[in-house]
Amino acid sequence: RFQRRNRPCRYDIDRFTPSFLSIFESLVPSEEEIAKQKQLLTSLSRIINKEWPNSKLYLYGSCANSFGFSNSDIDLCLSIDDKEMSKVDIILKLADILQAGNLQNIQPLTRARVPIVKLMDPETGLSCDICVNNLLAVVNTKLLRDYAQIDRRLRQLAFIVKHWAKSRRVNETYQGTLSSYAYVIMCIHLLQLRRILPCLQEMEATYLVTVDENNCAYFDQVDKLNNYGAHSRDTVSRLLWAFFHYWAYEHDYTRDVISIRTGRIISKERKDWTRRVGNDRHLICIEDPFELTHDLGRVVDKFTIKILREEFERAANILQFDPNPSVALFEPY
| Residue 10 vs residues 6, 269, 322: alpha-carbon distances, Å | 12, 35, 10
Q: Does 62 bind Mg ion (CB under 5 A)?
A: yes
CB 292 within 8 A of CB 298: no
Q: Does 65 bind Mg ion (CB under 5 A)?
A: no
Give the footprint of ligand GTP on this chain (CB under 6 A).
60-62, 65, 67-69, 72, 75, 136-137, 140-141, 179-181, 288, 291, 294, 296
Closest to ligand GTP by CB, 72 or 320: 72
- Which one of 37-45, 75-83, 142-150, 183-191 is the stretch in contact with Mg ion (CB under 5 A)? 75-83
The torsion angles phi and psi of 272, rounded to 5 degrees, stand at: 60, 40
With CB under 5 A, what is the number of residues at the site for Mg ion?
Answer: 3
Which one of ligand GTP, Mg ion, none interacts with residue 299, CB within 5 to 8 A by kind?
Answer: none
Which one of Mg ion, ligand GTP, none interacts with residue 68, CB within 5 to 8 A by kind?
Answer: ligand GTP
Comparing CA positions, the residue from 327, 273, 322, 317 lying closest to residue 295 is 273
Closest to Mg ion by CB, 62 or 235: 62
The nearest distance, CB 142 to ligand GTP, in angstroms, is 9
The nearest distance, CB 176 to ligand GTP, in angstroms, is 14
The nearest distance, CB 45 to ligand GTP, in angstroms, is 19
The nearest distance, CB 130 to ligand GTP, in angstroms, is 13
Distance CA 325, CA 331 (A): 10
Q: Identify residues 32-61 at the interface with Mg ion (CB under 5 A).
A: 61
Distance CA 77, CA 56 (A): 8
Q: Does 229 bind Mg ion (CB under 5 A)?
A: no
The nearest distance, CB 166 to Mg ion, in angstroms, is 12
Which parts of the chain fold into alpha helices (H)?
Answer: 17-27, 31-51, 62-65, 87-100, 135-150, 152-167, 180-193, 236-245, 268-271, 304-321, 325-328
Closest to ligand GTP by CB, 36 or 238: 36
Closest to ligand GTP by CB, 66 or 235: 66
The nearest distance, CB 75 to ligand GTP, in angstroms, is 5
CB-based contacts of 60, cutoff 8 Å, min separation 6 = 75, 76, 77, 134, 137, 138, 141
| Residue 83 vs residues 86, 87, 117, 138, 162: alpha-carbon distances, Å | 8, 10, 20, 21, 39
